[in-house]
């Protein structure tokens, strides 16, 4: 693949269909990409301070090249931003910036900014369009695509939000060059998730190419993002509001969200790290229940270890609550139906499925053994 070739994956949702553009240098051509969406040549950008310092000037240049001006609000970095106070601040700023119903909001940042800005756009004047410019691997392969937007509350993660699809996603692979190694590996947890849930051949490709991808190979990064997004686009097109198949994208997330809550959504555990530990636990549980061969969790563990990723509870610094408390946190999950927790388990690598057939005793035994 030529380094500067741009891939396009379409999320096919009828009149709300949109393209995910993937390649290096997209931020420089943001004006050209976004201009067809605009009714007047201005955009409001929601971003965070670290990202603004690194990438806002380039976005401004890219937009100005097409005569588009921008106003930007940079929020504090970190998961704590994804809550009521910053949502209020963002929405009021957008109103003060006189963003109209026909304007476009741009989310420049990782998953926190994408989710917050998307939700702000969803509720502003009963809904304005928005463009995602994801700056982390996690956001490029997962959160910027599919229209899930929202915030965390004291009761749990992502419990308040809306489905609001972006009008365009620009995944600039070159932006990943400035991503700290820990964030890149955390995002890679979501990439591995796609192979584990539905594409064994992709998982084998990651086993072969993951280390070079993490070391900085842009062509491999682009291919991993393209394949991940293509898989997600297909699932979202078939099940936009998660009445069925889309739940598979939550592989590892029930465990991961509980661990994130248990660590206070802090630097102790990044979202993608929770997902990689959660994927390992899901495969361990599948094998314990006799649903998948023991080789599957062993292979997952070998790959996560080879990548230097977090994969077990012991990799989380500090104390964790006991198993009963972790299970109570899992019970807050959005996948709970009529009080029954639903889990994404697997028959093998690439063969995930949803089940409510996991007893609290089995769960407790898994978590006790994992300590
Ligand atoms: N991140 C899971 C989903 O978008 O459905």
Residue among 33, 60, 190, 273 flagged as catalytic: 190
pTM of structure? 0.95
Residue 166: CB atoms within 10 A of its CB come to 30
CA of 287 to the centre of ligand 1 (A): 25
Q: Is 335 a catalytic residue?
A: no
CA of 199 to the centre of ligand 1 (A): 17
| φ and ψ at residue 33, rounded to 5 degrees | -70, -40
Pocket of ligand 1 from Cβ distances under 6 Å: 142, 146, 148, 246, 249-250
What are the structure tokens assigned to 114, written together?
């994408």
CA of 109 to the centre of ligand 1 (A): 17
Render each residue's pLDDT in the chain as its tens digit; 371 residues.
444 699 999 999 999 999 999 999 999 999 999 999 999 999 999 999 999 999 999 999 999 999 999 999 999 998 889 999 999 999 999 999 999 999 999 999 999 999 999 999 999 999 999 999 999 999 999 999 999 999 998 877 888 999 999 999 999 999 999 999 999 999 999 999 999 999 999 999 999 999 999 999 999 999 999 999 999 999 999 999 999 999 999 999 999 989 998 998 889 999 999 999 999 999 999 999 999 999 999 999 999 999 999 999 999 999 999 999 999 988 876 667 677 888 999 999 999 999 998 988 999 999 999 98
Q: How many residues does the chain have?
A: 371
User: Domains in the chain, ordered, with CATH?
Assistant: 7-178 (3.40.50.1970), 181-370 (1.20.1090.10)
Instruction: Please name the residues in contact with 156: beta carbons below 8 A apart, sequence gap of 6 or more.
Output: 257, 261, 329, 332, 333
Q: How far apart are CA 324 and CA 21, in angstroms?
A: 44
| φ and ψ at residue 110, rounded to 5 degrees | -90, -160
Residue among 29, 42, 82, 257 flagged as catalytic: 257
Instruction: Please name the residues in contact with 96: beta carbons below 8 A apart, sequence gap of 6 or more.
Output: none
């Amino acid at each position: 693949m030529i380094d500067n070739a741009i891939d396009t994956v379409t999320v096919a949702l009828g009149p709300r269909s949109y393209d995910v553009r993937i390649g290096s240098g997209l931020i420089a051509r943001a004006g050209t990409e976004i201009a067809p969406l605009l009714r007047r040549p201005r955009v409001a950008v929601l971003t965070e301070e670290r990202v603004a310092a690194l990438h806002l000037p380039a976005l401004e240049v890219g937009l100005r090249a097409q005569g588009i001006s921008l106003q930007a609000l940079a929020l504090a970095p970190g998961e704590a931003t994804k809550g009521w106070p910053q949502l209020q601040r963002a929405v009021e700023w957008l109103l003060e910036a006189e963003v109209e119903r026909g304007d476009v909001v741009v989310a420049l940042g990782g998953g926190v900014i994408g989710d917050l800005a998307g939700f702000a756009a969803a509720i502003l004047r009963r809904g304005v369009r928005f463009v995602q410019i994801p700056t982390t691997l996690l956001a490029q392969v997962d959160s910027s695509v599919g229209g899930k937007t929202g915030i965390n509350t004291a009761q749990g993660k992502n419990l308040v939000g809306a489905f609001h699809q972006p009008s365009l996603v620009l995944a600039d692979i070159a932006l990943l060059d400035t991503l700290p190694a820990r964030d890149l590996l955390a995002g890679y947890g979501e990439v591995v998730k796609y192979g584990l849930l539905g594409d064994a051949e992709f998982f084998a490709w990651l086993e072969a190419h993951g280390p070079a991808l993490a070391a900085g190979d842009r062509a491999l990064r682009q291919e991993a993002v393209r394949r991940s997004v293509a898989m997600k686009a297909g699932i979202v097109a078939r099940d936009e509001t998660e009445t069925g198949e889309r739940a598979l994208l939550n592989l590892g997330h029930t465990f991961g969200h509980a661990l994130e809550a248990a660590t206070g959504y802090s630097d102790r555990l990044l979202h993608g790290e929770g997902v990689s530990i959660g994927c390992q636990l899901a495969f361990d549980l599948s094998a314990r229940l006799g649903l998948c061969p023991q080789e599957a969790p062993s292979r997952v563990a070998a790959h996560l270890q080879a990548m230097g990723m977090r994969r077990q509870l012991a990799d989380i610094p500090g104390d964790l609550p006991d198993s009963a408390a972790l299970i109570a946190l899992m019970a807050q999950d959005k996948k709970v139906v009529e009080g029954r927790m639903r889990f994404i388990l697997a028959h093998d690598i690439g063969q995930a499925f949803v089940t409510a057939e996991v007893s609290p005793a089995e769960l407790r035994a898994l978590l006790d053994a994992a300590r």
